Amino acid sequence: MAFAVRIVNYQRNKMLNICDAELVGRTLVEADLTINMTKSYFGERVVDEKEAEQLLRNSSIINMVGEKTIALSVKTGVGSAKGVKKIDGIPFLLVFKF
């Protein structure tokens, strides 16, 4: 499995933008909500499952999109299935760990 990631230092916190690699370049639209899955926001580099898991565990703010990404976050205990929403049929989840 491949995950597209971008790490940003934001107000002394590590923010991770992560998605299923195949979603980069897509635009998700539902009603008045749009998510542009741009390379500049999500696709700084591609990582494997092991590195993605480490990044999920070690980030304070996480924006995640995609079936595989959400499944990995739930499996590792970082995310909760209760918080998952869908846009254009694709799941997304935001996590804040403080």
Helix H or strand E encompassing 33: strand 33-36
Average pLDDT over residues 32-57: 96
Residue 81 DSSP class: G
Residue 98 — very low, low, confident or very high, per pLDDT cuts 50/70/90? confident
Residue 42 — very low, low, confident or very high, per pLDDT cuts 50/70/90? very high
Which tokens hold the place of 48? 């494997």
CB atoms within 10 A of CB 19: 26
Q: Which amino acid is at 1?
A: M
Cα separation of 67 and 43, whole Å?
Answer: 17
For the chain, list the domains and their CATH numbers.
3-96 (3.30.1860.10)
Residue 84 — very low, low, confident or very high, per pLDDT cuts 50/70/90? very high
CB 7 within 8 A of CB 61: no
